[in-house]
Chains A and B, each alone.
Chain A
Amino acid sequence: MSQNPKARAAEVARVSYGKLLAVLAKQTRDIALAEDALAEAFTRALETWPHEGTPEKPEAWLLTTARNKMRDQFKSAAHQTSVSLDDIEPVMNDLDPHNIPDERLQLLFVCAHPAIDENIRTPLMLQTVLGLEAAQIASAFLVPSTAMAQRLVRAKKKIKAAHIPFIVPEKSQMSARLEAVLEAIYGAFSIEINDTDSNPNDNEDLGLEALYLADLLVELLPNEAEVLGLAALLNYAASRRINSEHFTPLKEQNPATWNTPRAERADNLLARAKEHNKLGRFQIEAAIQSVHSQRRFSGTTDWVAIVQLYEGLLHLAPTIGAVVAQASAIGEAHNAKAGLARLGQIDPKTIENHQTAWATRAHLLAEAGDNKNARTAFDKAISLTSNTKVRAYLEARLALIQTSN
Chain B
Amino acid sequence: MRYTFLLYSDQKNTPDQTPEQMQKSLKTFGAYIGALKEAGVFVDTDWLQPTETATTISMVGGKKRVQDGPFADTKEQLGGYFVVEVTDLDAALAWAEKCPGAYYGNVEVRPSAMPEGQK
Contacts and interface: CB of A to CB of B under 8 A. Distances in A.
Interface residues of B, number: 11
Contacts of A164: 88-90
Chain A: interface size category: 10 to 19
A163 B93 contact: no
Interface in B60-111: 87-90, 93, 109, 111
Contacts of B109: 162
Contacts of B89: 113, 115, 162-165
Interface in A121-167: 161-165, 167
Contacts of B1: 163
B115 interface: yes
Interface string A102-116: 000000000001110
A319 interface: no
Contact of B111 (A114, A163, A167, A169): A163
The majority secondary structure among interface residues of chain B is mixed
Contacts of B90: 164-165, 167, 169
A78 to B, nearest CB: 17
Interface of B: 1, 87-90, 93, 109, 111, 113, 115-116
14 contacts: A113-B89, A115-B89, A161-B113, A162-B89, A162-B109, A162-B111, A163-B1, A163-B87, A163-B89, A163-B111, A164-B88, A165-B89, A165-B90, A169-B90
Nearest to A113: B89
Contacts of B88: 163-165
A244 interface: no
A271 B1 CA distance: 45
Contacts of A403: none
A342 B104 CA distance: 41
Contact of A165 (B87, B111, B113, B115): B87
A93 interface: no
Given A113-B89, A163-B87, A163-B88, 20 more contacts: A82-B115, A82-B116, A114-B93, A115-B89, A115-B93, A161-B111, A162-B89, A162-B109, A162-B111, A163-B1, A163-B111, A164-B88, A164-B89, A164-B90, A165-B87, A165-B88, A165-B89, A165-B90, A167-B90, A169-B90
